[in-house]
Amino acid sequence: MLATVAAQTGRALVPDALFDRLTARIARDHPELAADLPARIVDQALAFLAACAVTAEPIGPSKLVDIGWHTFILHTRDYADFCHRLAGRYIHHQPEPTPDDERPEPIGAPISRTVAAIRAAGLAVDPALWTTSGAAECSQCHAGCHDSPKT
């Protein structure tokens, strides 16, 4: 008999109390979201960040998952502790350049690369939150930051 191992959830990467605080903050800040979405967003933001910790490729969140990342960053101590525990470094949030920026090339990453990185990290993917039309205008910082794993 072939045994299958379920992928770990992002939710499992933080204490329940922190997960609940992040979920409640998203629900409060985004009342337009369906009731089940805040928890799913936090779960996938945590999975995304865990993938950032182990991939050498630039990856970026979907628009919905980016809400979770922004919310987590607001909890600075918890976010910094999480980053250092999982990645051994701070995972920076790098916005995409705007037309007014000096740097013309985008630094974002295809959603398919991000989804593959999350799966490769052994984490579950919620496909509905990773639509290709919903790429956020930011990425993890692999484009020259002082603590980039590529430098």
Confidence of residue 6 (pLDDT cuts 50, 70, 90): low
Higher pLDDT, 4 or 114: 114
103 pLDDT above the threshold of 80: no
123 pLDDT above the threshold of 60: yes
In a domain, 133, yes or no: yes
In a domain, 1, yes or no: no
Structural domain range at position 133: 13-140
In a domain, 150, yes or no: no
Higher pLDDT, 70 or 138: 70
In a domain, 35, yes or no: yes
User: Distances in Å between the alpha carbon of 98 and those of 68, 94, 118, 149?
Assistant: 22, 12, 27, 25
User: Distances in Å between the alpha carbon of 93 and those of 1, 75, 105, 122?
Assistant: 44, 14, 17, 22
Residue with tokens 């980053």: 83
In a domain, 87, yes or no: yes
What's the chain's average pLDDT?
Answer: 82
Model-wide pTM > 0.85:
no
How many structural domains is the chain composed of? Answer: 1
In a domain, 147, yes or no: no
In a domain, 74, yes or no: yes
| Residue 146 neighbours by CB under 8 Å, 6+ apart | none
Confidence of residue 137 (pLDDT cuts 50, 70, 90): very low
50 pLDDT above the threshold of 80: yes
